[in-house]
């Protein structure tokens, strides 16, 4: 099996189905994350010569809370997520988009996330659907970071090399 190198892997977009959500120091599993956005306030200034020179647009960096939606299946042992709703506190969180080998590619670091709503699943005795909780958060101070590639780790994962053989690469 040919091993793709970093140049080959960097030409293809990363699939959106492989992501990791970290709340504080623990990792939580979610089926869907939507509404991840960063927005800036702008002001348009029209001066005396704007008909000739054009308008000036100024961008201000103001912490603006945006809604973020997380969806996950209901299962036993998810009490820490429900307790976050009751404690009414902000938490830091990171959403990491991973490649097909599980290596992080891009991380969205959120300094402040606050749970404002939990939508319990609809219960229907005639249905055969999975019970899914929907959490709505208000988030602010989002930074986006591209993570460095771990080419040595990728090669050893594909080939199944142990630590002794990895030094020979």
Question: What are 35-51's pLDDT values in tens digits?
Answer: 988 877 777 776 666 66
| Token digits of residue 17 | 């189905």
DSSP string of 18-56?
Answer: -EEEEETTEEE--SEEE------EEEEE--TTHHHH--E
* Residue 67, in any domain of the structure: yes
* Residue 155, in any domain of the structure: no
* Residue 73, in any domain of the structure: yes
| Token digits of residue 24 | 């504080």
pLDDT along the chain (169 residues), means of 10: 63 87 86 87 70 69 80 82 80 92 91 90 90 91 86 43 40
With contact defined as beta carbons under 8 Å apart, do 96 and 20 qualify? yes
Which residues constitute the domain of residue 29?
Answer: 19-148
Task: Find the CATH number of the domain harbouring 86.
Answer: 2.30.110.20
Question: Whole-prediction pTM value?
Answer: 0.73
Angle CA(113)–CA(115)–CA(119) in degrees, nearest 5? 140
Domain count, the chain: 1
* Residue 167, in any domain of the structure: no
């Amino acid at each position: 099996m040919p091993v793709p190198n970093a140049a080959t892997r960097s030409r293809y977009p990363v699939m959106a189905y492989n992501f990791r959500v970290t709340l504080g120091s623990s990792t939580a599993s979610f089926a869907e994350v939507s509404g991840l956005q960063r927005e800036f306030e702008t002001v348009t200034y029209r001066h005396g010569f704007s008909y000739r020179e054009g308008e000036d647009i100024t961008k201000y960096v103001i912490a603006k809370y945006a809604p973020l939606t997380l969806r996950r299946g209901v299962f036993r042992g998810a009490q820490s997520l429900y307790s976050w709703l009751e404690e009414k506190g902000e938490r830091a969180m990171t959403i990491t988009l991973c490649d097909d080998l599980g290596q992080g590619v891009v991380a969205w670091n959120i300094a402040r996330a606050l749970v404002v709503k939990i939508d319990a699943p609809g219960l229907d005795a005639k249905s055969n659907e999975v019970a899914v909780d929907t959490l709505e958060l208000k988030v602010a101070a989002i930074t986006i970071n591209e993570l460095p590639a771990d080419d040595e780790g990728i090669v050893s994962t594909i080939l199944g090399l142990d630590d002794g053989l990895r030094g020979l690469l």
